[in-house]
Structure 1
Amino acid sequence: MAHALSASIPNQVKLVVWDLDETLWNGTLSEEGISTVEAHLQMVRDLVDRGIMCSICSKNDFEDAKAALVDLDIWDYFVFPHIAWSPKGQAIKAMIAAMGLRDENVLFLDDNHLNLEEAQFFNPNVMVFDANQDILPLMDLPTLAGKDDKSHSRLKQYKVMEEKQVEQAETGLSNIDFLRQSDIRVKVITDVEDQMDRVYEILNRTNQLNYTKKRANTPAEKAQLQTLLNTAGVHAGLIEVQDRYGDYGVVGFFCVSAKYSGNVVHHLAFSCRTLNMGVEQWVWQFLNEPDFRTVGGVANPIDAHENVDWIQDVKDFDAPETARQQQHLCLVGGCDLLQVSFYCGTDRDEFVNKPDDNGMLVRFDDVGFFLNQRDPVLNRLFTQKNFIGYGSDDMVALDESLASSDLILLSMYFSFANDLLFQYRGKEPGSEFLGSVPPRRFQQLMRDQKTAMRFAKSMQHRPYDIHDRLDLTHRCFQVADVLRRADAPIFIIGTTVRHGPQAERNPKPRIAFNDMCRKFCAETHNAHFIDIDTLLTPAEFTDSDHYSRTGYFKIADFVNSHTMMKIAA
């Protein structure tokens, strides 16, 4: 018997749909009346304590049935009840869709065999059980074991979903209009190590909005995930969501590798609690819309909407509204900023290492990017787009970003440390431009003989000494200071002088760079030096110029904390 019962309920149960008459209770409400089956009421309570939701699909008068359930003190344990004189199969289908579930995780209890068959006709994978039998042994099945939720967090979340759908139906708003007035807020939790149980639960229990479907069930799979999280350049986050209706809790997880050529997606998975809210697409946009292949079927394509602009990124749900407003950031620098930007908010201009249309590296931590003339006539003479990688439009965009941003973050060590600085001298007076060519780009340019000849004729190598290079980078900081608003802080990231082989071999240039940055910040209003050696632990350095995921998070947290204190003040 136990084996047959288990075989009839093979899948994990997330929702139990109850008939009322002769199932939850004995008798018929609209005829001879009912008698309570206390064991069934306790079964409902125990299911909810396990995080398994309960709903109702019953042919009855709604108000009469609700009154009876209120008298039994059980009404509030049910979500999305359908109590009406209408067919049950399509009603259950609509209920499952409204809750964002799959029919294969739904169990329907009814004493009428025709109702059970109708439910399976419209929902082919739904599990059914004849309530003429004893239903109490179902609680001993592993597929109804659930997970401890005596706080009823899942029940509260589904109540929020239910309230939202009722209000949307009453207002008659379109889905997008309704979302815009819902005040949806997302918090990205990057300290995932303290919540690994929730990470595993999301990866292992989600399907409809799990775009990668990589699990972490076995010890080997969990160890593989931990190794991935400890890899340099890998970023991960849990997604917590609230709106004006309530708190959905932690509903999603992402894990990506950040590279200058684009982000590589390892994990992207979400609970169905936020289905049709656009949260999964917002996270994809937050990750700079990486190109990846969706594994298996999903309820929504990742780009279901043209643009998700109704969700706000927040650092703290409880902060005052003024403190939660998204700040506009300007980030200029090397690959370290590509990592830091994950934790600094979505409203940002990134002038960070990236490939150009030919796949060659472009670096924006270049003195010429700040100091070259913005004269469009002279810029047309300069072949910088071909040789350097950025053009006049990029330089103008930098100026506009520096002038409009609420915060500026600069990581400019490469602008000082590199010795591949070239000068272009045009035919017109004053048409002189500086530009850095990183080694990888220089090698690619030299592979084509015609390009190499043009480069040799146009570009003159400038072997500046350490003092000249420090002066050029200092002038870049001055440009940023002149263009920014007085209330917009500048943060300048230093470099290590103690960790990694590059620093250990030759610390003197790094010391000189840090000293120049400190001096600039000390003499400049609202400018802040980020001392890497003080902020990070030795374990958070992967080499002299790159840090672990927690290291990049600490840099961003330093910036975010300072900014939030300023807003609060």
Structure 2
Amino acid sequence: MSEEIRLVIWDLDETFWHGTLTEGGISYSDEYHNIVVELAQRGIMSSICSKNDLESVRHLLQEKGIWDYFVFPSIDWSPKGARVAEIIRRIQLRPETVMFIDDNTHNLQEVLSVNPKIHIADEKIIPHLLTDARFRGKDDSSLSRLKHYKVLESRDEEKENFSNIEDFLKDSNIRVEFIYDVENHLDRAIELINRTNQLNFTKQRLPEDRQEARDILLSQIKQTFRYSGLVRVSDKFGDYGIVGFYSLVYVNRISYFEHFCFSCRILGMGIEQWVYQSLDRPDLHVQGTVISDINSPAHIDWINQEGGSSDAMVAASRKSIYVRGGCHAAGLAHYLKQGNRHVVEEQNFCRDGVSIRIDHSQLFHDSIFGLTDERLAWISKLGYRKEDFATQFDDMTYDVYVLNFSVDALYATYSYQDGATRYPFPECHAIMTENFSQGEHHDQNKFLDDAFRNVASGDFHYHAPDPAYFENCLRSILPRIPEGSFLFILLGAERFLNHENEVENVSTHIPFNRKIMELTANRKNTFLLHIDDYVKERSDQTDREHFGRMVYYRLYRTITEVISADASTAKTEAPALHEA
């Protein structure tokens, strides 16, 4: 079955109209005029390749009110083969989706010889275009595709005035907006996933059945550790609309794309490279052929990011930000990094199949104050290494600090030979508060099995999660954060929406949250973000400790709004951001 046609290139004399314009008289066809309009309303573009006088043609078609329905017209006296190829290149389509119509057999064969995969036909096909299955298109009564291509046309014409492409791009005032509310744009995301080819890097298609595709994509983007967004682009020439979609998995410092795709209408603007860099270059396994090198150019400085709260976003982008914590901090960092000049994130990571929990307050404390050789010797029995305590905390004074200590309420700790210092056991499959110092524990993972044996040797002592011990760590940490900087601390969840959408109280984090509140009560520029305030519906929670991406996006919006405001007007606790 032939591909659907997306562009018709028209000859004029004895094709679009009867007669020859330069030889003194034509018979204009209102029927063909209406066909061009109807094609545009189906999302199918029209162009012109005619041997004719440009100004005479333009004047006539403007009088008829049809000139603006044609994109990238080519009207001069040169051979048509190369000109058709140039139209296809400029409009960024494949010849397989283009039909060239001409009454002259020589012209048809010349165009075909230069563009072997193009469709060709003489003027006899015109009355049958609207009933031909290849031209069914889809409803676009708003002429959105035509408007997008007219923007491309204007942009392409101005490009000719610049000696190099980079100067043109810098002059274009290109703006990118990330849209995280994917649920309200599912159909556009599906269209990008299934219909893009030349700039679809992953090519992970969804079913053609629209409802089935919606169900699958919705289930994907709601998964924990999944971050998705749509990309909208505009410049001084106009609005290109939503032209890109990404969905990536990010956990334990490992990130990779499941979807990364763009419309070819932004080809050559550097959008796909900029988005890739903005997302911190996750692993990208390119499938099939793409016509863009995602790593080139290495630095793009002609694109600006904007959003629904543009003033806040611009102000936030000038801040240096230090983020440390577990899942919650990782979710926030994904959004904070986009458009920011300097974001340092220190997150949990995986070693030998085990998550090293650097988000615990004791590990943060020792990262700041250092380790003695004696302490390093005994914590190595738990599986820790010296490099686990490397930090960029003291590399500079950051404008903003974002911290998360939720794990302190969840993990038991162990001290060594009655010592006062306690460390959590590396993450394992058993209950995190289980006493591993008693009895035998075995795991197929050698890393954990060795640590189990060391803890059960009799030299280690078990401690349940202890708010008082956490308080001591926090008392040491807080004075190291400059009071002139903003400090945001994420408080652990105290409520859970069950499957019946009923609120269940969760007491685990309450005493630890109270300690944070007490110690920061009189601290300037300190904001406590209670994650419960950002949960709006059941789907926002995966379980009692994990949340969907919109929770972290709402937290991000609060942070950007606070740090863009005058610090002297800030309150001690930041308000929750409600849905717009």
Please give the TM-score of this superposition, normalised by the length of structure 2.
0.82
Q: 1:293-341: per-residue Cα shift (whole Å, max 9, x none)?
A: 3232222233343244433332238659955855443221102222233
Q: Equivalences for 1:529-544 in 2 at 5 Å?
A: 529-537=528-536, 539=538, 540-544=540-544
For 1:308 and 1:293, the matched residues in 2 are separated by: 22
Q: What residue is the counterpart of 1:269 in the other structure?
A: 261
Q: 1:478-528: per-residue Cα shift (whole Å, max 9, x none)?
A: 14xx54472x43221111223389xx9995551111112223443211211
Q: Equivalences for 1:315-330 in 2 at 5 Å?
A: 315-316=307-308, 319=311, 323=315, 325=317, 327-330=319-322
Q: Equivalences for 1:65-84 in 2 at 5 Å?
A: 65-84=57-76
Question: How has the CA–CA distance of structure 1 residues 190 and 42 changed in structure 2, closer, same or farther, with 3 Å as cutoff?
Answer: same
Matched, 1:418 2:411: yes
Single out whichever of 62-71 and 267-276 deviates more from structure 2.
62-71
For 2:83 and 2:509, the matched residues in 1 are separated by: 69
Q: What residue is the counterpart of 1:492 in the other structure?
A: 489
Q: SS at the partner of 1:550?
A: helix
- 2:322–2:344: 8 Å Cα contact kept in structure 1? yes
Q: What residue is the counterpart of 2:346 in the other structure?
A: 351
- 2:248–2:258: 8 Å Cα contact kept in structure 1? yes
For 2:183 and 2:248, the matched residues in 1 are separated by: 16
Query: Amino acid of the residue matched to residue 491 of structure 2?
Result: G
Q: What residue is the counterpart of 1:115 in the other structure?
A: 107
- 1:50–1:148: 8 Å Cα contact kept in structure 2? yes
Q: 1:336-387: per-residue Cα shift (whole Å, max 9, x none)?
A: 222233333422222112236x665343313355433768997999578995
For 1:137 and 1:233, the matched residues in 2 are separated by: 52
In the alignment of these two chains, the number of paired residues is 543
Larger fraction in helix: 1
Q: What residue is the counterpart of 1:185 in the other structure?
A: 175
For 2:128 and 2:241, the matched residues in 1 are separated by: 32
Q: Equivalences for 1:292-311 in 2 at 5 Å?
A: 292-311=284-303
Q: Equivalences for 1:183-222 in 2 at 5 Å?
A: 183-213=173-203, 214-218=205-209, 219-222=211-214
For 2:380 and 2:173, the matched residues in 1 are separated by: 43
For 1:118 and 1:379, the matched residues in 2 are separated by: 80
Query: Amino acid of the residue matched to residue 209 of structure 1?
Result: L
- 1:497–1:507: 8 Å Cα contact kept in structure 2? yes
For 1:522 and 1:376, the matched residues in 2 are separated by: 28
Q: 1:86-132: per-residue Cα shift (whole Å, max 9, x none)?
A: 2222222222122221111111111112222222222222112211x
Query: Amino acid of the residue matched to residue 411 of structure 2?
Result: N
For 1:380 and 1:46, the matched residues in 2 are separated by: 80
Q: CA deviation at 1:416?
A: 5.3
Q: 1:6-53: per-residue Cα shift (whole Å, max 9, x none)?
A: x7xx32222111112222222222223333112222222222222222
Q: CA deviation at 1:183?
A: 2.7
Percent sequence identity is: 31
Q: Equivalences for 1:458-537 in 2 at 5 Å?
A: 463=463, 466-475=466-475, 478-479=478-479, 482-484=480-482, 486=484, 488-499=485-496, 507-537=506-536
Structure 2 unaligned blocks of 5 or more = 430-435, 437-442, 570-580
Structure 1 unaligned blocks of 5 or more = 1-6, 425-431
For 1:476 and 1:280, the matched residues in 2 are separated by: 44
For 2:374 and 2:301, the matched residues in 1 are separated by: 36
Q: SS at the partner of 1:555?
A: helix
Query: Amino acid of the residue matched to residue 329 of structure 1?
Result: I
Q: Equivalences for 1:426-437 in 2 at 5 Å?
A: none
Q: Equivalences for 1:98-177 in 2 at 5 Å?
A: 98-131=90-123, 133-173=124-164, 175-177=165-167
Question: How has the CA–CA distance of structure 1 residues 243 and 385 changed in structure 2, closer, same or farther, with 3 Å as cutoff?
Answer: farther
Question: How has the CA–CA distance of structure 1 residues 289 and 373 changed in structure 2, closer, same or farther, with 3 Å as cutoff?
Answer: closer
Matched, 1:388 2:384: yes
- 1:422–1:436: 8 Å Cα contact kept in structure 2? no
Q: CA RMSD in A?
A: 3.8
Please give the TM-score of this superposition, normalised by the length of structure 1.
0.83
For 2:453 and 2:460, the matched residues in 1 are separated by: 12
Q: 1:273-300: per-residue Cα shift (whole Å, max 9, x none)?
A: 1112222223333333232432322222
- 1:53–1:155: 8 Å Cα contact kept in structure 2? yes
Matched, 1:438 2:426: yes
Q: What residue is the counterpart of 1:427 in the other structure?
A: none
Question: How has the CA–CA distance of structure 1 residues 472 and 314 changed in structure 2, closer, same or farther, with 3 Å as cutoff?
Answer: farther
Question: How has the CA–CA distance of structure 1 residues 140 and 469 changed in structure 2, closer, same or farther, with 3 Å as cutoff?
Answer: farther
Query: Amino acid of the residue matched to residue 395 of structure 2?
Result: E
- 2:368–2:394: 8 Å Cα contact kept in structure 1? no
For 1:393 and 1:306, the matched residues in 2 are separated by: 31
Q: CA deviation at 1:414?
A: 1.6
Single out whichever of 214-223 and 44-53 deviates more from structure 2.
214-223
Q: What residue is the counterpart of 1:331 in the other structure?
A: 323
Question: How has the CA–CA distance of structure 1 residues 465 and 544 changed in structure 2, closer, same or farther, with 3 Å as cutoff?
Answer: closer
Question: How has the CA–CA distance of structure 1 residues 521 and 75 changed in structure 2, closer, same or farther, with 3 Å as cutoff?
Answer: farther
Question: How has the CA–CA distance of structure 1 residues 467 and 194 changed in structure 2, closer, same or farther, with 3 Å as cutoff?
Answer: closer
For 1:141 and 1:31, the matched residues in 2 are separated by: 33
